[in-house]
Structure 1
Amino acid sequence: MTTLVNYAHRGASGSYPENTMIAFEQAIKLGATGIETDVQMTKDGKLVLIHDEKLKRTTGVNSLVADVQSGDLLELDAGSWFSPSFKDERIPTLEQLLDLAKQTQTFINIELKNGIVPYPGMEQKVIETVRAYGMEDQVILSSFNHYSLIECKRLAPDIPTGILYMEGLYRPWKYALSIGATALHASHYAVLPDWVAEAAGHEVIYNVFTVNEPAEMIRLIQAGVAGIITDYPDRLTAVLKSSNQA
């Protein structure tokens, strides 16, 4: 059996400010074997890791990521909103995370956040950056924008892609294969053992989000998913150890 990947959602975001280097670094210390993150582009085209299209929630600045120059954005405090003890944590660049992942042999699930702000050319920039680090085998590209995934596959047939969706897709493994994706990044509510088994028969895997309760982790492990995305990688580490999956 292939070992399940413990993906830390935006890093160990249950305990540290999401999408910051401390959240990524601590996730690995807590047993994460993968990191899930979100990529967007600044006004001058820098690839940065942040979930919201607006900076307001995590930095207090009422601007879109796309409207701010990288020099200004990378100076923002992205930690104080979570706790004063994380004051001056910064928004990382994609390069910073890839460097960490390369050193620690950690998988990276890069979610392209281009469903609201289109970010023309972001697929090419992400792929070029991944290739520059030689990490094609450690990365999977995902998005709710499935047109973007088709573009990624056109540009880089060798880099795996995963379709993000919430619920209700009929035979999603067939849809995944139709756009060249090899993974289903589904809400855990949309995952049943029979579906996991049928997808596996078509060589399509499930990476499931966002799973924070141990009982649900156990259910999904038993269902045979390939990866679980969680805010608390330490909880999943404990569950995997108890079920002899780590």
Structure 2
Amino acid sequence: MIYGHRGARGEAPENTLPSFQKALDTGVTRVELDLHLSADQQLMVIHDPTLKRTTGRRGKVAQHNAADLMQMDARRAIPGWAESCPIPSLDQLFSRFPQMQHYQLEVKSGSVRQSRIVLAAVKELVERYQLQDKVVITSSSRTLLKYAKASGFNLPTGLVEEYALLNPVKAAKRYGCSHLILNWKLCTAERVERAQQAGLHVSVWTVNEEAKMLKLADMGVDSIITDYPARATRLFERSA
């Protein structure tokens, strides 16, 4: 399975509607994206907690209401992109792309309070758009995953693991996760096999080179997350 990273981050401004459209245009109907809360507690699709890198604006996402954030142009990371690309809300994204088959929703959250607000907001939108079987909520925050498990949160979750200071397979199972999202550098055939034997879907990021894609596919990973979904699609069509 191929997931477009922040839509199609290598081909369009990340985490914007044109980026998700670009992924769909290549036939990729699975995407990974990032969520932060606005000041009025709306879920916004943006990676950084601050606005500078993608919009050029100062300040934090959490300091602005959703209506204001949705007027900010987030195309700064792709020089020369012709059209304005406002920061979308998750509500807007779900509404715009009913043909999307699956979402990895990575929550950038730390505290229990934030976790409670974010998970409640995700649940409400997922139920409204009837996407219960089309989302997994992922995070590197043990606090969020622990809260999700303890509160009986009824949507699947996944552990995002970049460094593997502790055993990521055991950690994912401890927090009741169904997915393990690994930095590609952490992937070995043995780790992938152990994760899958534990019932985990293994998704790997960020995989942009063709040789790496093929190597990880040979390891048996369940899905790769790439900035270039068109490149991945062409590769696997050739090698099928």
Describe the shift of the 1:20–1:55 C-alpha distance in structure 2 as closer, same or farther (beyond 3 A).
Answer: same
1:106 paired residue number = 101
Counterpart mapping for 1:193-204 below 5 A: 193-204=189-200
Distance 1:126 1:27 in 2: 22
Could you say if the C-alpha distance between residues 117 and 55 of structure 1 is closer, same or farther in structure 2, counting changes exceeding 3 Å?
Answer: farther
**Once the 2 structures are TM-superposed, how far is the Cα of residue 227 of structure 1 from its aligned partner?**
1.1
Q: How far, CA to CA, are the matches of 1:94 and 1:205 in structure 2? A: 24
Q: Which amino acid aligns with 1:26?
A: K
Q: Where in structure 2 are there 5+ consecutive unaligned residues?
A: none
Q: Give 5+ residue unaligned stretches, structure 1.
A: none
Structure 1 runs of 4+ off > 4 angstroms? 154-157
- Correspondence 1:6-45 to 2 at 5 A: 6-45=2-41
In the TM superposition, 1:1-246 aligns within 5 A as: 5-101=1-97, 103-115=98-110, 119=114, 121-155=117-151, 157-244=153-240
- Partners of 2:45 and 2:152 lie apart in 1 by 21
CA distance in 1, matches of 2:10, 2:65: 29
8 Å Cα contact 2:3-2:28 kept in structure 1: yes
Q: 1:116 deviation in Å?
A: 8.6
The answer (yes or no) to whether the contact 2:51–2:57 under 8 Å persists in 1 is: yes
The 8 Å contact of residues 153 and 180 in structure 1, kept in 2 or not, is answered as yes
Describe the shift of the 1:193–1:90 C-alpha distance in structure 2 as closer, same or farther (beyond 3 A).
same
Q: Kindly, what percent of the aligned residue pairs are identical?
A: 34
Stretch deviating more after TM superposition (134-143 or 118-127): 118-127
- Indicate conservation of the 8 Å contact 1:143/1:163, yes or no: yes
Distance 1:123 1:236 in 2: 31
Distance in structure 2 (CA, Å) of the matches to 1:165 and 1:186: 5
Look up the equivalent residue of 2:230 and give its one-letter code.
Answer: D
How many residues are matched?
Answer: 239
- Deviations along 1:149-205, whole A, 9 cap, x unmatched? 232344554421110111234542222111100111110000111111121111112
**What secondary structure does 2:114 align onto?**
coil
1:82 Cα offset (Å): 1.7
Task: Give 1:117 shift.
Answer: 11
- Stretch moving more, 204-213 or 73-82: 73-82
Higher mean C-alpha displacement, 56-65 vs 120-129: 120-129
Tell me if structure 1 keeps the 8 A contact 2:111–2:143. Answer: no
Question: What value does the CA root-mean-square deviation take over the aligned residues?
Answer: 1.9
**SS in structure 2 opposite 1:167?**
coil
TM-score for the superposition, normalised by structure 1? 0.90
| One-letter amino acid matched to 1:243 | S
The one-letter amino acid of 1:114's match is S
Q: Distance in 2 between matches of 1:229 and 1:219?
A: 14
Q: Is the 8 A contact 2:110 2:141 kept in 1?
A: yes
Q: Tell whether the 8 Å contact from 2:203 to 2:222 is kept in structure 1 after alignment.
A: yes
Amino acid at match of 2:105: I
Q: After superposition, give the CA deviation of every residue in 1:203-230 in whole Å (9 maximum; x if it has no partner).
A: 1121000000000000111111111010
